[in-house]
Amino acid sequence: MTDTYGYIRVSSRDQHEDRQLIIMQQKEIPEKNIYIDKASGKDFNRPAYKRLVRRMKQDDLLYIKSIDRLGRNYEEIIDQWRMLTKDKRVDICVLDMPLLDTRMGKDLMGTFLADLVLQILSFVAENERRVIKERQAEGIAAAKKRGVKFGRPRKPLPENYSDVYQRWKSGQITAVAAAKELGMPRSTFRYRAKVCTFSPPEK
The residues with which 101 forms a beta bridge, in sequence order, are: 93
Element (H, E) at 38: strand 34-38
Asked if residue 202 has pLDDT above 60, the reply is: no
- Alpha-carbon distance of 29 to 53, in angstroms, equals 16
State mean pLDDT over 173-190: 89
Active site (catalytic) residues: 11
**Average confidence score pLDDT of the chain:** 82
pLDDT tens digits, residue range 45-54?
Answer: 789 999 999 9
State mean pLDDT over 88-116: 80
Q: What pLDDT, on a 0 to 100 scale, did the predictor assign at position 120?
A: 80
Q: What pLDDT, on a 0 to 100 scale, did the predictor assign at position 203?
A: 43
Please give the torsion angle defined by the CA atoms of residues 19, 20, 26 and 32, in that order, rounded to the nearest 10 degrees. -120
What are the backbone angles phi and psi of residue 88, rounded to the nearest 5°?
Answer: -80, -25
Domain regions of the chain by residue span: 4-130, 161-195
- Alpha-carbon distance of 144 to 67, in angstroms, equals 36
CATH 3.40.50.1390 correct for 4-130: yes
